[in-house]
A and B are shown apart, each in its own frame.
Chain A
Amino acid sequence: MKDLTKTLRQISLSAWFGIVVVSVYILVAFFAPVIAPYGETEIVGGVFEPWSDEFLLGTDNLGRDLYSRLVYGARNTVGIAILTTLLAFAFGSLMGVLSATIGGWLDQLMGRSVDVLMAIPQLIFALLLLTIFGTSIINMILIIALLDSTRVYRLSRAAAVNVVAMDYIEAAKLRGEGLGYLIFREILPNITAPLVAEFGLRFCYVFLLISALSFLGLGIQPPTADWGSMVRESANLISFGEVTPLIPALAIALLTVAVNFIADWFLHRSTGLKG
């Protein structure tokens, strides 16, 4: 308990900002039906109605309430991004650590496959794969997770290689420990710091990639509310000097910043960096 209060007191101001923002997003995503005045896909008014008491942020090109869609968007966009990033990390870091621990042909095979995957620009590759396998949320999650896991793989392999060279790993190997113990008890605890920092960054990239794909029409499909596609649907308004299309973009930016503040703080804490 004493430890907890001490940790809480040591949280920096920027990290507090990050924590508050992320909590608000989570609450909004969780209680979306309560907060939103209208349904996610409900057509409630005229096309492109301006801001008013009735429609807080106006309506979109089909007459749906933008505020309600923004709230539901938190659910879809953030939820899918978290799921995708977690998947990418589970797969990527496991393969990375496995490569570093076993070495030899497995390391070579994994390393070269990842090189091939990384040789093609990510967005174009994602577009290509989505066109081949068809656009669905499951496909999108799997494809982005796979493409992003290559980055996680390289990081976790590089970090794990340093740990594998340590004498305590040799001691564990001499004890005859199994691969599972080596990876989960000896190696992973020592590489969490870079992985967590990368998680913050990766989450943002995934988030932006989903939004970009949605903006291009290959991501989350209408009528599901999503911040990326919302920008596209009301993009025309920008030429009339309206700020409305920028609001979903702002929501994306704010979350990106907040997540990185938290990752920074965690990195400082776990590596003992000062300042």
Chain B
Amino acid sequence: MTDNDLLLNIKGLRIEALSDDGWNEIVHGVDLTLKRGEVMGLIGESGAGKSTIGLAAMGFTRDGCRISGGSVVFDGEELLEKNEKQKQALRGSRIAYVAQSAASSFNPAHRLIDQCCETAVLHNVLDRDTARDEAVELYEKLRLPNPGEIGFRYPHQVSGGQLQRVMTAMAMSCKPDLIIFDEPTTALDVTTQIEVLSAIRDIVRQFNTAAIYITHDLAVVAQMADKIKVLRYGNEVEEADTRIMLSDPKEEYTRSLWAVRSHRSVEKPAVKDSDVPIISIQNISASYGSDGPRVLHDVSFDIHKGRTVAVVGESGSGKSTTARCLSGLLPISEGCILHNGEELPISSKQRSKEQLRELQMIYQIADTALNPKQRICDIIGRPLQFFLGLRGEEKKARVRELLTLIELDPDIYYSRYPTELSGGQKQRIGIARALAAEPDFIICDEITSALDQLVAEGILKLLERLQSELGLSYMFITHDLATVEAIADDVVVMQYGKVVEAGTKHEVFRPPHHPYTELLLSSVPDMNPDWLTGLLQQRAAMDGSGESVKRPEASNPKESVCQSN
């Protein structure tokens, strides 16, 4: 290897962030080297400094951060010595960046193609017409539908997965030497993720572009990267080639990351036919607005005491809508919901206090589920006072008890505000609030999807412990099948507002599958680095149409769902 091959050489990088008590170092001397055409995966939990290092590779820091030491040499030139104008000339043309949320990174007021060409035109690499032609070519390479036409749409007119690919095309427009992908598929569901991953991988190989791929999903990084660097608290844990790293991690921390995926729940005894289900959903249909299109069609399933029912499906499949019907926020137009054999009133307003108490909900985004102006003791204390009539010392003691139950120290957290907590801790408070009402049934709406794997793992374990201690039943809504495997007893697969398959976990996960379940299952990334290649070959062989992922025909046309948007 000669020095010419070396595209990026970061040595002893130190980055400081401004907090209330001055500058604090958040990245403590990280080295990183990257050859031309090489893909490096950066992984670690949130706060590990992945994105900060990724941005520093462009000589950039976020507001309130500064690079305090080390060197960043890109293609033989020291970036940190360049002034802002020189760095700007490099950014976009030779180093590009693909952000996590494509939806918030595009300007909603401009057409996609204009935003795609902007960089190339601005850097005088291409004139506008050539840039447009090349963009269309890139769209084709990224397997976007109607490559000639899609660029003339506005960002809100294309799906999330397509938008992420358009953003990759935008980054590619100047044929850069280095692209930094910052969690490009984290916000997408599994089936869309595959399309984006394979498109990104192909195009990076085609142009021999080097890439830094930032993610917290190990299985994803296994498909994309040649080598992997594990980070923690702004320090490097270890670095190795992907295959070596996966088969033989050196450090304890890396092994703990790997182990997350191996968690499995204990088998529970089968349900007897004579048992009355705690919640029985019977043939419910629902629509938004009185004359809007139906979003739920004839949905039925049961949830038994002490069991976890996972409801899976991609976004728009009606998972959360079912939960809203259950909680009485969305009126059902047909069918009924039985709670311990008794029919529940349709609207939450007509339900008795007792019925409301027994059915609790935990939300996806803990930030919006906890009132930022209330202290933890008030948030957890309110249901105690409201449902159980506890006051004063009694209430205080119970709040402390609940905090202990969710594994948070009452002395520290009792009078804090939600903003002073981490994401996982907030989600625990959400759980405590639900528990405070002493429910027998809890709806968990994607409660781990906003958390990184180690934290999510902790939450799942906590839920399982609570289930065995308190005999709770959960309805667990998720699009992540790894989570389903970890926690569910029964699985309900939904698509386009209908139940396509239901049964115990083993029944659903064991072939033969419904084609949609098959698609979902096969789309969950595997830790095996050859998984994506194998899957794509297999799928290509199956339909031979050249399209990488073919959706099984649904008995209900998707149009009916789209109209509701």
Contact = CB atoms under 8 A, between A and B. Distances in A.
Interface string B355-380: 01000010101001111111000000
Contact of B329 (A168, A170, A189): A170
Contacts of B327: 174
Interface string A157-199: 0000000001110111111110000000110011000000000
Interface in B318-338: 327-329
A168 B361 contact: no
B417 to A, nearest CB: 11
B386 A171 contact: no
A189 B375 CA distance: 12
Given A170-B329, A171-B363, A189-B374, A176 B348 contact: yes
A175 B383 contact: yes
Given A176-B353, A176-B356, A177-B386, A171 B348 contact: no
Contacts of A190: 371-373
Nearest to B327: A174
B323 to A, nearest CB: 11
B50 interface: no
Task: Tell which of B363, B369, B373, B374 has the most Cβ of chain A within 10 Å.
Answer: B373
Interface in B292-341: 327-329
Contacts of B386: 175-177
Given A167-B363, A189-B374, A174 B329 contact: yes
A174 B371 contact: no
Given A167-B365, A171-B363, A186 B348 contact: no
Given A173-B348, A175-B356, A186 B371 contact: yes
B451 to A, nearest CB: 16
B348 A168 contact: no
A171 B374 contact: no
A188 to B, nearest CB: 9
Contacts of A176: 348-349, 351, 353, 356, 386
B216 interface: no
Interface in A145-165: none
A175 B329 CA distance: 12
B433 interface: yes
A177 B372 CA distance: 18
A176 B327 CA distance: 12
Contacts of B353: 176
A168 B356 contact: no
Contact of B369 (A168, A177, A186, A189): A168
Interface residues of B, number: 24
B433 A171 contact: yes
A166 B329 contact: no
A175 B382 CA distance: 10
A42 to B, nearest CB: 51
Contact of A167 (B328, B368, B383): B368
Nearest to A270: B373
B361 A171 contact: yes
B369 A171 contact: yes
A13 B373 CA distance: 28
B382 to A, nearest CB: 8
Contacts of B356: 174-176
Nearest to A168: B371
B370 A168 contact: yes
Nearest to A169: B371
A35 to B, nearest CB: 41
A142 B239 CA distance: 73
Contact of B368 (A168, A172, A174): A168
Given A167-B363, A167-B365, A174 B370 contact: no
Nearest to A178: B386
Contacts of A185: 374
Task: Tell which of A171, A174, A186 has the most Cβ of chain B within 10 Å.
Answer: A171
A189 B349 CA distance: 25
A2 B374 CA distance: 21
A166 B430 CA distance: 14
A189 B379 CA distance: 14
Nearest to B64: A274
Nearest to A191: B373
Task: Tell which of A167, A173, A176 has the most Cβ of chain B within 10 Å.
Answer: A167
A2 to B, nearest CB: 15
A119 B107 CA distance: 35
B259 to A, nearest CB: 32
Interface in A45-97: none
B374 A174 contact: no
Nearest to B355: A176
A224 B154 CA distance: 64
A189 B328 CA distance: 27
B421 to A, nearest CB: 14
A176 B328 CA distance: 11
Contacts of B373: 189-190
A167 B386 CA distance: 18
Nearest to A192: B373
Contacts of A168: 368-371
B437 to A, nearest CB: 8
Contacts of B371: 166, 168, 186, 189-190
A166 B371 CA distance: 9
Contacts of B349: 176
B357 to A, nearest CB: 8
A174 B386 CA distance: 12
Contact of A174 (B361, B372, B382): B361
Nearest to A173: B348
Contacts of B363: 167, 170-171
Nearest to A186: B371
Nearest to A177: B386
A186 B373 CA distance: 8
Contacts of A171: 361, 363, 369, 433
Interface string A199-241: 0000000000000000000000000000000000000000000
Contacts of A189: 371, 373-374
B41 to A, nearest CB: 34
Interface of A: 166-168, 170-177, 185-186, 189-190
Given A186-B374, A189-B373, 12 more contacts: A166-B368, A166-B371, A167-B365, A172-B382, A173-B348, A174-B329, A174-B356, A174-B361, A175-B382, A175-B437, A176-B353, A185-B374
11 contacts: A166-B371, A167-B369, A170-B363, A171-B361, A171-B363, A174-B361, A175-B382, A175-B386, A175-B387, A189-B371, A190-B371
Cβ-closest 6 pairs across A and B = A189-B373, A167-B369, A168-B371, A167-B363, A167-B368, A166-B368
